[in-house]
Amino acid sequence: MVWLNGEAKPLEGKTLREVLEELDVDLSRVAVLLNEEAYLGWELPHHVLKEGDVVEVVTLMQGG
């Protein structure tokens, strides 16, 4: 299982980008933590998810 935002999901074998696109995530508005490494959505590495990977998707917000 792959941990996605705290939930175990059967996502092994898919790329990180594929999963986010399936979830309709706007890559220009998120940051992603992949096994504690941080990436902006448009800078995602080509990573095929494997058992035990931990992914956290965080929406970027502007404030003032």
Task: Answer whether 61's CB lies under 8 Å from 26's CB.
Answer: no
- The pLDDT-based confidence of 64 (bands split at 50, 70, 90) is low
User: Which domains are assigned to the chain?
Assistant: 2-59 (3.10.20.30)
Distance CA 58, CA 55 (A): 10
- The pLDDT-based confidence of 60 (bands split at 50, 70, 90) is confident
pTM: 0.89
Task: Answer whether 53's CB lies under 8 Å from 19's CB.
Answer: no
